[in-house]
Amino acid sequence: MDHAQQPLTPDERIAMRAFLREQRLYMRIELVFLSLGLLAVVVLLLSASGAWMPLALLMLLGGLGLWRAPRLLTHRRELRPIRDALTGGMKTVTCGALQAVSAVQPDRVLYRIAGGSLTLRLLGGFDLGSPGMRIGHVEQRQIHALAHMAAPSVTAHWLQADDGQGFVLRVDYAGEPQAASAATVADAAAIDRAAGELRSSMRWMMGVLALLWGVTSALNGFSPSVALQSLAILGGAAGIMLLGVRLWPRRVADRQPDMDVLTGAISEILVFENTRPGRSATRNREHWYRIGGVLLRAGPTWPGTLRIGQVLRLELLHGEGSGGTRFSSPPTVIGDAEVRSVQTVVD
């Protein structure tokens, strides 16, 4: 097993910055819960109005924040390797004969390489964040299944951490078809196809808003005044979301002139599952594919029949202009490498 130091690529920097943004968002949400709880304690001590219901709600939210406070401190230390790597601009590249690949719960992958092993957390390519490392969710979302390409050797690009379990940026399997990435003009048709993912999410959100309106009306005895008030509030929220979906393609056309075309073979397939009691694991599964060395989360229009060795062509809009990575269409299968798939054990 050989190690070397190499500079980070621009795409790796994008992925790392996106991951840090995602983690900071979750940390801020929990800090809000903590602040609400502290505020509720102060109001409770100073108020004699007896408004126990809203105060109890604030206390509950604050309790959740206090419960997660130790995790917030630990999480900051876990993110230090990414911040340090961005500052130093270097990564570790390890190559050697591949012996086995297995999942280590909840969100790590163990690469056994002749002469040692690497236990690494996962980072998505481009600005797709992380499949498992989310504050408050990492204990409930874990690897359900893992398959990888059979290969005599492997090259892993990763960031070192103090606990010996770093973050993997990309993994290249010996013998997989050469990946290629090129920039092309993001025409109106490609932008409209990319907006299909937002429209799909919008239909789901509309269903949630309709359910909220029905529950609110039922709890108030289907009072006409309450029903109209809740309909106006929820209808306004729906209108804002619809306006955002309509304006997104125009915003992209103005600020995102190019898109990336990625061609590469599937070398790993990871299925994450929500294991929280009372929830259907099957309906909460999330598929990630390592394509051309980088890990990508499957979009809602991706087929469920993709397999190891298939060569895909993907069109991606990402960066500031698109507000996050969007696939302009489902992946196109353009080939099938003659490789063997290995279904690994989930520890």
Residue 273: predicted pLDDT: 81
Mean pLDDT of 199-217: 73
On whether residue 321 sits in a domain, the answer given is yes
Please state, for a pLDDT cut of 70, what percent of the chain lies above it.
Answer: 66
Give the C-alpha separation, 176 to 337, whole Å.
8
Same-domain status, 244 and 116: no
Same-domain status, 55 and 95: no
Same-domain status, 100 and 176: yes
In the listed set 237, 255, 273, which residue is the last one of a domain according to the structure? Answer: 255
Greater pLDDT, 318 or 133: 318
Segments forming the whole domain that contains residue 32 = 14-81
Number of domains in the chain: 3
Mean pLDDT of 136-152: 76
In the listed set 29, 60, 81, which residue is the last one of a domain according to the structure? Answer: 81
In the listed set 81, 101, 124, which residue is the last one of a domain according to the structure? Answer: 81
Nearest alpha carbon to residue 128 among 27, 21, 18? 18
Same-domain status, 97 and 241: no
On whether residue 6 sits in a domain, the answer given is no
Greater pLDDT, 115 or 18: 115
**DSSP per-residue codes, 319-338:** STTTTS-EESSSPEEEEE--
The dihedral through the CA atoms of 6, 260, 181, 153 has a sign that is positive
Same-domain status, 222 and 149: no
Query: Which has the minimum average pLDDT: 124-128, 145-149, 232-236, 292-296?
Result: 124-128
pLDDT band at 135 (very low <50, low <70, confident <90, very high): very low
Could you report the per-residue pLDDT of 315-331, keeping only the tens digit for each? 877 654 444 556 666 78
On whether residue 268 sits in a domain, the answer given is yes
Same-domain status, 179 and 234: no
End-to-end Cα spacing for the chain: 23
Residue 214: predicted pLDDT: 77
Interior/surface letters 159-197, b for 16+ CB within 10 angstroms, e for the rest: bbbeeebbbbbbbbbeebbebeeeeeebeeebbebbbbb
On whether residue 303 sits in a domain, the answer given is yes
On whether residue 7 sits in a domain, the answer given is no
Nearest alpha carbon to residue 308 among 281, 278, 274, 270? 270
Max mean pLDDT among 41-50, 148-157, 179-188 falls in 148-157
Residue 243: predicted pLDDT: 76
Query: Which has the minimum average pLDDT: 109-113, 152-156, 276-280?
Result: 276-280
Could you report the per-residue pLDDT of 267-315, keeping only the tens digit for each? 999 998 876 555 555 557 888 999 989 888 887 778 888 999 999 998 8
DSSP 132: S
